[in-house]
Amino acid sequence: MKVELRYAAHPDDVKIYDTARLRKDFLIENIFISDEISLVYSMYDRYMVGGAMPVKNELILETSEELKSENFLDRREMGIINVGGAAMIHTSGKKYEIGFKEALYLGKGTYDVVFKSVDPYKPAKLYLNSATAHHTYPSKKVTLADADVVVLGTMESSNHRTVNKLLVNSVIETCQLQMGMTELKTGSVWNTMPVHTHNRRMEAYFYFEVPEKQTICHFMGEPDETRHIWMKNEQAVLSPSWSIHSAAGTSNYTFIWGMAGENLDYGDMDIRQQDTLK
């Protein structure tokens, strides 16, 4: 297992970052590597973002030097959303089959976590988010049928989208981790509009189902000092609590949002209207 450490940045410093520095600090380019677990350990709320792609081999979720714990989830919880072929996940004597766009929550104290693809010719792509945890809640599989679903936006504003709240407190108990998936309708390209910040929580976005040769322009930064990062299919980006997080694509796409912090209030947003951005 490979773990990369990312430090936090002050918003005043980010104002002078060039393109290369923005990408180095916030963009996660390689989420899925065949037969590997790859993670970024962020100093934003000690959130971890990455992926597991078992092909020929089973992948064991081992601890790392950064965690200083016997097992990876001794003091953490984890959310998993599969964006590939069917997966088998073994944990502490339990087995879960996780299909495309299905989620699994693993509570604090879960051990012996093993990832495996049902069909190596259609490997699973397990997108992983992990946050620190103070209490053990039961592990649970969550499907789109279980999700808290909200339809937002309009075709006229190019942001007609379906928000599938998967690992949120209206669906499942967690300590601080929340995850969900937003699917843009054909013809829509904007997500999370109007934009917002929430100083109580940081966030990470993972973009997928981006058609070949199409791209995503992710917007970040303070509302009065915005920046952008061009992204490709199956890449993720870290979003500090002080930063907006929105994007426009050259096609419609799907993205997974994950967050952690002080509260579990999905509606806790400090809205900034479009005509006030700079």
pLDDT by residue (tens digit) across 59-95? 999 999 999 999 999 999 999 999 999 999 999 889 9
Percent of the chain scoring above 70 in pLDDT: 100
Give residue 124's pLDDT band: very low, low, confident or very high (50, 70, 90).
very high
Q: What is the mean pLDDT of residues 171-188?
A: 97
Q: For residues 223 and 277, is the Cβ–Cβ distance under 8 A?
A: yes
| Domain assignments of the chain as residue spans, ordered by start | 2-276
pLDDT value for 266:
84
pLDDT at 272 exceeding the cut of 90? no
Contact between residue 98 and residue 89 where contact means Cβ atoms under 8 Å apart: yes
pLDDT of the residue at 269: 83
| Topology adopted by domain 2-276 | Jelly Rolls (2.60.120)
pLDDT at 130 over 90: yes
Give per-residue pLDDT as tens, 11-44.
Answer: 999 999 999 999 999 999 999 999 999 999 999 9
pLDDT in tens, 107-116: 999 999 999 9
- The pLDDT assigned to 136 comes to 97
Residue/partner pairs of 63-66 with CB below 8 Å, 24 or more apart: 64/1, 64/3, 64/39, 65/3, 66/3, 66/5, 66/41
Report the alpha-carbon distance of residue 96 to residue 108 in Å, rounded. Answer: 17
pLDDT higher than 90, residue 3: yes
What pTM was estimated for this model as a whole?
A: 0.96
pLDDT of 139 > 90? The answer is yes
pLDDT at 277: 87
Task: Give the count of beta carbons closer than 10 Å to the beta carbon of residue 240.
Answer: 24
Q: How confident is the model at residue 274 (pLDDT cuts 50, 70, 90)?
A: confident
